[in-house]
């Protein structure tokens, strides 16, 4: 068995003796007999070597595809080596939430830098230190829009279904009435949005690019929401923001999104991070940790957790959210990634993804997989499938390729900067063999 306790059993006995006890069991004398566990029914411990071997065997049972044409909320990108090198530093990895600012400037400053970068990406004023993932960020944003008179919320049908389920769960527990806004050809139907707003509507959530990859008319929607004294929340793709109009430029009040693309591996769903930014008027409604800059008594620059009057450890049942841990190390990862890529590098990732996806669309069309939607899209699009989508998936898996996602009998394809011409041509040849 492996153990991480420094002392031998004999040394532990000496410690027990010093505090006047005979055995460790004496420390548990107050536990009622009926509640005591006689035997913990799990296997005995193993050496580090054996555990590694067993866990490696589990990892090897998973298929690591040589190319991936599936996104739908989670994307494979290139992660520079420097990102992992920096974020594996033991100080960052093993520290707790930076309550003691004097010995936590490293973590605090990195969050301050992260907040700055997220504000830059989204064009909004204030960012928190991250939340659990993009879906939770969206759900928390819904709560930010509510007030005493407005407790209804609108969500577009073109939303990522995983995000929708999380928003629904969060809203149900707080008795927020959720109404879906219809879509036409996989874009939000603005006429339906107008129809569904009323004096109780607190806000509206829309993603751009949306689940089907399409760019939504967010600017027009923002105008409609504001005319009705309600707020607009945009779910964004952080890489695409290097290229497309920012939420800030489009009049959005709160921008949220999944930060996985910023230097984190797909990792079967996590850990990821949700980013949240808003206009400064909404600052005190923003949930979660926020880092601010101040000075110490000698006037030196210092970063601290701030605006804590919103938080659970001060306000208890009156807190704006229950969030305590966030995803600090993931936020640092995002920050290192953005710093490594720089403005041009990030724009290049976005443009490559855009071009690869459009080339993929053209090549797929030539072999009978026609795009089914119209309008501007970023790096994902739907096509018809001349063969059964699940048959195609299986056949391509045999060739080490993960196909697009089967959505309503169609296929949602995705390309990032990692799906260049060679990968796409390979895919097309592989599909031809299947057909």
Partner 1 sequence: MKLLFERSVSGRGMNYLPKADTGNRMPDEKYLRKSRLHLPEISEVDLGRHYTELAKQTHGVNDGFYPLGSCTMKYNPRINEEIASLEGFTQIHPLQPAESVQGAMEVLYKTEELLCRITGMDALTFEPAAGAHGEYTGLLLIRKYHQERGDSERNVIIVPDSAHGTNPASAVMAGFKVVNIPSNENGGVDLEALRNAVGKDTAGLMLTNPNTLGLFDPNILEITKIIHEAGGLCYYDGANLNAIMGRVRPGDMGFDCVHLNLHKTFATPHGGGGPGSGPVGCKEFLRKYLPCHMVEKKGGSYVFSDPEKSLGQVRTYYGNFLVVVKALSYILTLGKEGIREASGKAVLNANYMMHRLKDHYHVAYDQTCMHEFVLCLEDLKKETGVSAMDIAKGSLDYGIHPPTMYFPLIVHEALMFEPTETESREVIDEAVKIYLDLFEKAHDDPEYLHGAPHHCPIGRPDETKAAREPVLKYSFDE
Contact set for partner 1, span 62-91 (CB under 8 A): 62-65, 68, 70, 72-74, 76, 78, 80, 82, 84-86, 88-91
Q: Is residue 228 near partner 1 by the rule CB under 8 A? A: no
The residue among 191 and 376 lying less far from partner 1, judged by its C-beta, is 376
Asked if 67 and 401 touch (Cβ cutoff 8 Å), the reply is yes
| Options 11-19, 146-154, 224-232, 381-389: segment touching partner 1 (CB under 8 A) | 11-19
| Closer Cβ to partner 1, 163 or 233, answer by number | 163
Is 97 a binding residue for partner 1 by CB under 8 A? The answer is: yes
Does the footprint of partner 1 cover residue 243 (CB under 8 A)? yes
Instruction: Rule CB under 8 A: choose which of 22, 41, 409, 433 binds partner 1.
Output: 41
Are 133 and 273 in contact by the 8 Å Cβ rule? The answer is yes
- With respect to partner 1, which residue has the nearer C-beta, 23 or 179? 23
Nearest Cα residue to 137 out of 120, 118, 123: 118
300 binds partner 1 (CB under 8 A): yes
Interactions with partner 1, residue window 372-391 (CB under 8 A)? 376, 378
> Closest separation between CB of residue 195 and partner 1, Å?
26
Give the whole-angstrom CA distance, residue 364 versus residue 356: 12
CB closer to partner 1, 27 vs 198: 27
Minimum distance, C-beta of residue 290 to partner 1, in the bound complex (Å): 6
Asked whether position 417 contacts partner 1 by CB under 8 A, the answer is yes
Asked if residue 2 binds partner 1 (CB under 8 A), the reply is: yes
> What residues are paired with 235 via a beta bridge?
207, 256
Interface with partner 1 in residues 147-206 (CB under 8 A): 162-163, 165-166, 168-170, 172-175
Q: What DSSP element (H or E) covers 236?
A: strand 231-236
Among 29, 149, 409, 433, binds partner 1 (CB under 8 A): 29
Nearer to partner 1, 269 or 386 (CB): 269
DSSP structural state of residue 322? -
The distance of closest approach from Cβ of residue 386 to partner 1 in the complex, given in angstroms and rounded to an integer, is 20
Question: In angstroms, rounded to a whole number, what is the distance separating the alpha carbons of residues 143 and 421?
Answer: 44
Measured CA to CA, the distance from residue 290 to residue 126 in angstroms comes to: 9
What's the min distance (Å) between Cβ of 183 and partner 1? 19
| Cα 393 to Cα 70, 367, 400, 401, distances in angstroms | 11, 16, 10, 8
CA distance 316 to 395: 54
Of the pair 109, 228, the CB lying nearest partner 1 is at 109
According to DSSP, the β-strands at 183-184 and 187-188 are antiparallel
Stretch that binds partner 1, among 9-17, 184-192, 193-201, 220-228 (CB under 8 A): 9-17
Q: Does 8 bind partner 1 (CB under 8 A)?
A: no
Give the span between the Cα atoms of 244 and 257, in whole angstroms. Answer: 15
Which residue in 146, 202, 252, 338 binds partner 1 (CB under 8 A)? 338
* Residue span 395-414 as binding mask against partner 1, x where in contact by CB under 8 A, dash where not: --x----x--x---------
**Segment lying near partner 1 (by CB under 8 A), choices 7-15, 197-205, 366-374, 379-387:** 7-15
Angle between helices 328-366 and 421-434 (to 10 degrees): 50
Total of chain residues touching partner 1, rule CB under 8 A: 205
Q: Which of residues 345-364 bind partner 1 (CB under 8 A)?
A: 345-349, 351-352, 354-356, 358-360
CA distance 189 to 187: 6
**Under 8 Å between Cβ of 372 and 383:** yes
What is the edge-to-edge ordering of all strands in the sheet holding 405-407? 380-383, 410-414, 405-407
Residue 377, beta-bridge partner list: 214
Q: 171 — phi, psi (to 5°)?
A: -70, -35
Strand partners, 407: 410
* Number of residues assigned to the chain: 435
Q: Binding partner 1 by CB under 8 A: which of 189, 373, 384, 393?
A: 393
Q: Is 433 in the site for partner 1 (CB under 8 A)?
A: no
Nearer to partner 1, 139 or 197 (CB): 139
Q: Which helix (H) or strand (E) holds 317?
A: none
Torsion, Cα 326 76 258 349, to 10 degrees, reads 110
d(CA 57, CA 17): 44
Q: Is 61 in the site for partner 1 (CB under 8 A)?
A: yes
* Binding of residue 281 to partner 1 (CB under 8 A): no
Report in angstroms how near the CB of residue 201 gets to partner 1 at its nearest. Answer: 21
């Amino acid at each position: 068995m492996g153990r991480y306790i420094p002392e031998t059993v004999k040394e532990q006995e000496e410690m027990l003796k010093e505090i006047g006890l005979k055995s460790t069991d004496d420390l548990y004398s107050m536990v009622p007999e009926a509640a005591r566990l006689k035997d913990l029914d799990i296997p005995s411990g193993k050496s580090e070597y054996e555990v590694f071997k067993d866990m490696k065997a589990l990892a090897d049972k998973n298929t690591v595809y040589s190319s991936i044409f599936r996104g739908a909320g989670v994307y494979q990108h290139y992660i520079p080596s420097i990102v992992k090198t920096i974020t594996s530093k033991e100080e960052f990895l093993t520290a707790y939430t930076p309550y003691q600012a004097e010995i936590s400037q490293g973590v605090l400053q990195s969050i301050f830098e992260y907040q700055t970068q997220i504000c830059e990406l989204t064009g909004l004023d204030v960012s928190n230190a991250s939340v659990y993932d993009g879906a939770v960020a969206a759900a928390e944003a819904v709560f930010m829009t509510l007030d005493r008179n407005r407790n209804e919320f609108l969500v577009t049908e073109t939303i990522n279904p995983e995000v929708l389920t999380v928003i629904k769960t969060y809203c149900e527990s707080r008795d927020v009435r959720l109404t879906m806004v219809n879509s036409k050809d996989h874009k939000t139907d603005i006429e339906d949005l107008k129809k569904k707003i009323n004096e109780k509507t607190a806000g509206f959530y829309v993603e751009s690019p949306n689940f089907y990859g399409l760019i939504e008319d967010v600017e027009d929607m923002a105008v409609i929401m504001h005319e009705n004294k309600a707020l607009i929340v945009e779910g964004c793709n952080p890489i695409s923001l290097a290229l497309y109009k920012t939420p800030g430029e489009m009049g959005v009040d709160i921008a949220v999104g999944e930060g996985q693309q910023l230097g984190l591996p797909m990792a079967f769903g996590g850990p990821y991070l949700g980013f949240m930014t808003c206009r400064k008027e909404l600052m005190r409604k923003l949930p979660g940790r926020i880092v601010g800059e101040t000075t110490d008594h000698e006037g030196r620059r210092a970063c601290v957790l701030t605006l804590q009057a919103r938080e659970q450890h001060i306000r208890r049942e009156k807190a704006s959210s229950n969030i305590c841990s966030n995803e600090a190390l993931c936020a640092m990862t995002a920050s290192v990634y953005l710093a490594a890529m720089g403005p041009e590098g990030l724009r290049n990732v976005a443009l490559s993804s855009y071009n690869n996806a459009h080339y993929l669309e053209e090549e797929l069309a030539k072999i009978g997989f026609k795009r089914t939607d119209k309008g501007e899209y970023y790096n994902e699009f739907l096509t018809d499938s001349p063969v059964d989508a699940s048959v195609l998936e299986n056949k391509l898996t045999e060739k080490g390729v993960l196909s697009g996602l089967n959505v309503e009998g169609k296929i949602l394809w995705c390309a990032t900067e990692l799906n260049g011409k060679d990968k796409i041509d390979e895919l097309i040849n592989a599909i031809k063999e299947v057909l």
